[in-house]
Amino acid sequence: MATSIPGKIVNVLRHMVEGATAVLFVSFSVLIVVQVIFRYALNDSIFWAEEFSRLAFFGVLMLTMPIICDRKAHIVMDLLEAMLPPRRRRKLEKVNAVIMIVFFAIFAWTGVELVLQSQFMMTSATNLPMAYVYALVPIGALLSIVFVINNWCTHRGNEND
């Protein structure tokens, strides 16, 4: 079965987000261990390690949102859904998708406002513009919207489920 162009784009996005999340997670995890070794074994410290770890952890949080939406791994109350017949269950899934899209759109909008408000703020140790860090909020929210829509369209193609 051939994958459509939008499907290929979503696959590329999926791999990019998963890769970036993995790199950020491994980097802050290793850096924390190295920082502990430096601080307690060598009686020295890496001055930027704590700040970078915090920023990388924030990046992991924002980039995990779309992964969770893609895998449908978010917390759900599925008691009502399990009691419904398949046709009504699909309608409820559509309503849930719309609610998620609206939520992530609002989240993206407020994230853009946060980026604009923080464009002249810098981090203390690494001197990185906070706007770069906060840009992960709308990026994560918009990618979440893409994955919610993709899941809905993919499921819509399988109406016989």
DSSP state, 84?
A: S
The pLDDT tens digits for 83-139 are: 888 888 888 888 999 999 999 999 999 999 999 999 899 998 888 999 999 999 999
In the numeric block, the tokens 């853009």 are attached to 112
User: In sequence order, what are the residues at sequence separation of 6 or more whose Cβ sits closer than 8 angstroms to the Cβ of residue 5?
Assistant: none
The pLDDT tens digits for 82-96 are: 888 888 888 888 899
3 state SS for 85-98:
CHHHHHHHHHHHHH
**Any idea where the domains of the chain sit in the sequence?**
5-157
Is the pLDDT score of 44 beyond 90? no
The pLDDT tens digits for 144-159 are: 999 999 988 876 544 4
CA–CA gap between residue 74 and residue 151 (Å, rounded): 13
